[in-house]
Amino acid sequence: MDPRRKPLPIAKRLPPATEKRVASTAAIAPAVKSTPPKAVAAKPPAAKPVATKAIPGAELAGRKPDHPYITAFAEYLRSEAHLADNTVAAYRRDLRKFYEWLAGRKPTKLGVKDLAEYAKWLHAKQLAPASLARHLISLKLFYRYLQLESITVDNPAELLGGQKLWQRIPQVLSAEQIERMLKAPLTQKTCRARDKAMLELLYATGCRASELVTLRLRDVHLDAGHCICRGKGDKERIVPLGQRAIEAVRIYLRDERPALAQGAAERGTDWLLLSRTGRRLRRERLWEIVKQYALEAGAHPDVSPHTLRHSFATHLLSGGADLRLVQEMLGHASIQTTQIYTHVDQTRLKAVHTKFHPRA
């Protein structure tokens, strides 16, 4: 690009899809407050904010529309960087925090000392180290995008130090706790087969919560004994299914899912796990269900769907599975991420120590 060329405003350089998104976002707030001309003239000014709060579930109710830079950056992450929707949503929330801290200042006018103050501001909010690290990554990616679009020349965020994270041993459940947890749905009166199939799939596949709730009927091949999971970056992987998981899914598809699908707004929905209203089961609801059955099984209250994923990997390795195969089933990009599970199983470590240490 010619350095003498003056950068165009962001609104003139957005792709058509992004322009529509920005235009629709900016049009939401006025649309919410719009009333017939006569009614506006008759009502006092104090009545205007009431209309905004009256719309339940409106995404922008209670806050201002996103800055055009945030909207354009999110569209770039989704369409060009091909990041998962959950990742894009997390980065978008981080940038809203950044613009809250900016308080009207322009990001292109800041230096590394200013951004260091932003890091202090985040730290004062007592964020977890992992959350603080993600905020800084979001900031670096955002400034890199501004450079790419010739909105700014320098990238002061690159000079910020990253938040170093200690490697933590993941929490896992024993085989006995898993067995009690998988039997817990049998005492329920409603959605018993669905919850049983959901827990069996979590432990049989090691799927993330977001991967499980986005499974479709065409992704589950019961006769072949496997399912197709879509992980981060929409990467697909084939994960085998055990006999118990296959049987639980068959019972759910035969006995419960047809009745749940009747309440769906759109007929012929092909999501595997449905809510009581026939919609796709939300990830948050899946977390709630897992915690409910964990408490019934006498497990730790901090148990989550990811705990079953950790347990899946740890039990495979303790049974003698190859580390590379576990990495493939979990969908890890790096083998180092999977290696943490080799430190969880104390029985395996003791066996290795006894076999190879000269004084064991």
- Token output for 143: 């400034």
Residues marked as catalytic? 208, 232, 306, 309, 332, 341
Strands 226-230 and 220-221: antiparallel
Q: For residue 54, give the 3-state DSSP assignment.
A: coil
273: DSSP letter: S
Strands across the sheet with 236-240, in order?
A: 220-221, 226-230, 236-240
Q: Which distant-in-sequence residues (6+ apart) come within 8 Å of 264 by Cβ?
A: 274, 277, 278, 279
Phi then psi for residue 127, to 5 deg, are -75, 150
Report the b/e string of 143-180 with b at 16+ CB within 10 A: bebbeebebbeeebbeebeebeeeeeebbbbeeebbeb
| CA 332 to chain CA mean position, Å | 15
